[in-house]
Amino acid sequence: MPVLEVRDVGKVFPGVIALGGVTLNIEQGEVRGLIGPNGAGKSTLITTIMGVHRPDSGSIWFRGEDISRMHIWDRVRKGLNATHQTALYVPELSIRRHIELGIMVNGFPATDVMLIAETVGLEGEMDENPDVLSALGAKKLEIAKALSTRPSFIMLDECFAGLSFEEGMEVIEIIRKIAEERQLTVLVVDHNLALVERVAHVTTVIDRGVVIAEGTFEELFSNQDVVDAYMG
């Protein structure tokens, strides 16, 4: 049974069909890529899986349980979490405190803080204000915040945006590390095809709110629908 099942999910905003019946199955331990042109529905799919939006049709199942009407925090407790496209932080709080918040709320041991910081490479900046972070540092902090709730499934939205290729490769190493050492299932959502190709086992392509293809990059870009979606 897949760890995550998105079953024919639809989401409509005023004047826009954001998701037109998306079906997506992701297996335990997989690193799945999710790509598509601007406005394809990628971020809406993530926010709907997380519970920011509720689907207008279809259902979302996590570890065999229908979570379609579950509140966000309940989904987090079940093991789901996600990063944001734009880093969200409180300027007055140190990097350490940002990581501590999820740990304290869940009653996890304080030793988790440094373990997470070391995993993402922020252990030398724990007492700094997040304002000092580079674009890469901000991505690391987003991942660290998501890890603080001990997820089993993490969704990384635009995790390579604003980074150089070399910085993106650093993020890939973090993704590989958390997938292997923490046995996490990871959904990587991004426009940078070269980096997604390097980390994903399988990649799903979404366009205009529907899944149009799934497979390896070689398979995907032999598919005329995918070529048309990207080339117009």
CA 52 – CA 38 distance, rounded (Å):
20
pLDDT-derived band at 110 (thresholds 50, 70, 90) equals: confident
The token pair that represents 83 in the structure block: 């990063």
Strand 210-215 with 202-207, pairing: antiparallel
Residue 112 has phi, psi (to 5 degrees) of -60, -30
On the question of pLDDT at 105 being above 90, the answer is: no
User: Average pLDDT for residues 63-83, to the nearest whole number?
Assistant: 96
* Stretch 112-118: mean pLDDT: 94
Residue 220 near residue 213 (C-beta atoms within 8 A): yes
Render pLDDT for 10-52 as a digit per residue (tens, 0 to 9). 999 998 999 999 999 999 999 999 999 988 999 999 999 999 9
**pLDDT band with cut points at 50, 70 and 90 for residue 164:** very high
pTM (predicted TM-score): 0.93
| Residue 232: per-residue pLDDT | 63
* 114 Cβ neighbours under 8 A, 6+ residues apart: 123, 126
Q: How far is CA 134 from CA 83, 130, 176, 185, 208, in A?
A: 17, 9, 22, 27, 33
Residues 39 and 28: their CA atoms lie apart, in Å, by 28
End-to-end CA distance of the chain: 36
CB 229 within 8 A of CB 37: yes
The answer to which of 71-85, 178-192, 216-230 has the lowest mean pLDDT is 216-230
Q: Which of 16-20, 87-91, 124-128 has the lowest mean pLDDT?
A: 87-91
- Predicted local confidence at residue 141, as pLDDT: 95
Q: What is the pLDDT of residue 82?
A: 96
With a pLDDT cut of 70, the percent of the chain lying above it is 99
Counting Cβ atoms within 10 Å, is residue 85 exposed (0-12), middle (13-18) or buried (19+)?
A: middle
* Residue 104: per-residue pLDDT: 81
* Of 165 and 105, the one with more pLDDT: 165
Mean pLDDT confidence for 59-69 = 97
For residues 205 and 101, the model is more confident at 205
Q: Write the CB contacts of 93 (distance below 8 Å, at least 6 apart in sequence).
A: 129, 130
Q: What is the pLDDT of residue 58?
A: 97
Q: What is the CB-side half-sphere exposure of residue 183 using CA atoms within 13 A? A: 2
**Higher pLDDT residue, 221 or 177?**
177
Phi, psi of 136 (to 5 degrees): -65, -45
Task: Give the helix/strand (H/E) hosting 22.
Answer: strand 16-26
How far apart, in whole angstroms, are the C-alpha atoms of residue 50 and residue 4? 12
Q: What is the dihedral of CA 225, 43, 115, 127, to 10 degrees?
A: 130
Give the pairing type, strands 185-189 and 31-35.
parallel
How would CATH label the architecture of 29-40+79-231?
3-Layer(aba) Sandwich (3.40)
Least confident segment among 87-91, 133-137, 213-217: 87-91
Report the pLDDT averaged over residues 91-113. Answer: 86
Average pLDDT taken over every residue of the chain: 93
Q: What pLDDT sits at residue 90?
A: 82
Q: Return the number of other C-beta atoms located less than 10 Å from residue 142's C-beta.
A: 24
